Amino acid sequence: MNFVNRNGRQIQYCKAAKKLNLLHLPDDLTVMIIGKLTAFEILTSAQFVCRRWRRICKDPLMWRTINMCDIRIRNAVEYKLVEKMCRHAIDRSCGQLEDISIKYFGTDDLLKYIIDSGCHKLRRLRLIQCLNQISDKGLCKMAEKLPLLEELDITLCLNVSSIALEAIGRGCPLLKSLKFNYNRNNNGEEFVIAKNMSNLRHLQLVPTNFNNSGSRAILDGCPHLESLDLHESDIVEVEGILKTRSDAQLVKTQVNSTSHEVDTLEPLDENLVKSVRSSNDSQV
C-alpha cells in the first residue's frame, strides 16, 4: 500500500515479516547456529531447548572443537564443575576431538582422560594458566599418543619445562606452531626446540634469555620458520642474525614482539588453586 506525505513523496508500507522460529529451521542451519555457541552454552542451555536440539547437541561432530577458555572460575566448586563439564564434552566427541582449549583447570589427570577417551586425532591443544596442575610427566605421556598434533600453546603452566618439549618434539612430528610462554625457564628451551621441532612454522617464546648460540640454534634447526614472536629485548639480536642469512630466510621469517599480548592474561587466585589441590589430595 502506498501513501503520499506532505511533500508529495510517495511512501510504501510493507507488511511486517514473519518472525523466524529457530525450532523450525533445517538441521544444517540449526547445526550452524549451535556451532557458534561455546561448549559451556551448549551444555548449560542449548541442549535443553527441545528434543531436536538435544539430538543435534549430542552428535560427536559437534564436539570436534571444545573451547573452555571463556569461563570465569570464581571458587573451588566452579573449578570442579567446569572440569566435569569438560570431561562430559570429551565423552560426547567419541574420539573425534581435534581442537581443545583449557584455561585454569587443566591437570595431568585431564590430559590422561583425553588420551584414554581415544582422542588421538587431536590437532590443536591449548593449556592456559594451569599453573602447577600440569607437569612434564603428564605432557610426556600425552605426547606419545598425539602423532597428528599441529598446534600447541602452553602458557603459564609452571611445572612444564624443556623435558616436556623434547618429548613433544619426538611424539608430534607434524607440529607446526608452538607457543611456550611464562613456564619454567631453564634457559635451554631454544636448543631443545631447535633439535626436536624442525617442522615449526610459528614459534612464540616469552620470556627468553637468547644469546647468539640460542638464536642461531633456532634459525638453523627450524628452517621453515615463518614467524618468531619474542620478548622485545630479544628482537634486535635475532633480527641482526637474520640479516646475515640468505634472502630467502630473511623474507620468510617475521620477528614480532608479543609482550603486550601475553601480559593481558587474567590472574588466577592462588588460594583457589590451593583449595582445589587440597581437595584432590584428600580424595587419594
Strand pairing class (10-12; 2-4): antiparallel
Residues 139 and 194 in one domain: yes
pLDDT in the model for residue 28: 85
> Which of 29, 58, 87 is a domain's end point?
58
pLDDT of the residue at 228: 85
For residues 28 and 72, state if they share a domain: no
- Give the whole-angstrom CA distance, residue 53 versus residue 34: 9
Highest mean pLDDT range out of 38-42, 53-57, 87-91, 254-258? 87-91
Q: Does residue 262 sit within a domain?
A: yes
Give the pLDDT of residue 105: 93
* pLDDT, average across residues 134-151: 97
Q: What's the CATH code of the domain at 89?
A: 3.80.10.10
Query: Biggest alpha carbon distance in the chain?
Result: 84
**pLDDT-derived band at 20, boundaries 50, 70, 90:** low
User: What mean pLDDT comes out for the span 161-170?
Assistant: 96
Looking at residue 187, its pLDDT comes to 65
The answer on 71 and 32 residing in a single domain is no
Residue 282 covered by a domain:
no
Residue range 180-192, pLDDT digits in tens: 998 776 668 889 9
**Residue 108 belongs to a domain:** yes
**Cell numbers representing residue 149 in the block:** 598434533
Asked whether residue 167 falls in the same domain as residue 42, the answer is no
Residues 244 and 109 in one domain: yes
What's the whole-number mean pLDDT along residues 137-141? 97
- Is 172 domain-assigned? yes
**What's the pLDDT score for residue 249?**
52
More confident residue, 213 or 265: 213
How many CA atoms are closer than 13 Å to the CA of 120, on its beta-carbon side?
Answer: 7
Q: What is the CATH number of the domain that holds 53?
A: 1.20.1280.50
- How many domains are there within the chain? 2
* Mean pLDDT, residues 122-145 taken together: 96
Task: Indicate whether 178 and 224 sit together in one domain.
Answer: yes
How many angstroms separate the CA atoms of 235 and 210, rounded? 10
pTM, whole model, 2 decimals? 0.79
Name which of 33-37, 55-59, 165-169, 173-177 the model is least confident about. 33-37
> Do 152 and 224 fall into the same domain?
yes
If asked whether residues 118 and 167 sit together in one domain, one would say yes
Q: Return the closest-CA partner of residue 127 out of 203, 64, 218, 66.
A: 66
pLDDT band at 19 (very low <50, low <70, confident <90, very high): low
Considering the domain architecture, whether residues 31 and 159 belong to the same structural domain is answered as: no
Please list the residues that pair with 67 across neighbouring strands.
101
Q: How many CB atoms lie within 10 A of CB 107?
A: 19
Q: Would you say residue 1 has pLDDT above 70?
A: no
- Cell numbers 615449526: residue: 200
Q: Does residue 12 lie in a domain region? A: no
Q: Which residues are CB-neighbours of 226 under 8 A, at least 6 positions away?
A: 201, 202, 252, 253, 254
Query: Is 251 a member of any domain?
Result: yes
What SS3 class is residue 226? coil
Phi, psi of 147 (to 5 degrees): -70, -15
For residues 90 and 48, membership in a common domain is answered with no
Mean pLDDT for all residues in the chain: 81
Q: Are residues 47 and 94 in the same domain?
A: no
Residue at 4 is within a domain: no
pLDDT at 247 over 50: no
Task: Quote the CA–CA distance of 47 and 249 in Å, as a whole number.
Answer: 50
Whether residue 200 sits in one domain with residue 211: yes
User: Could you say which of 34, 58, 82 is where a domain stops?
Assistant: 58
| The predicted structure's pLDDT at residue 79 | 85
Domain-embedded: residue 1: no
Alpha carbons 128 and 156: distance in angstroms, whole number: 6
CB 226 within 8 A of CB 254: yes
* Boundaries of domain holding 150: 59-277
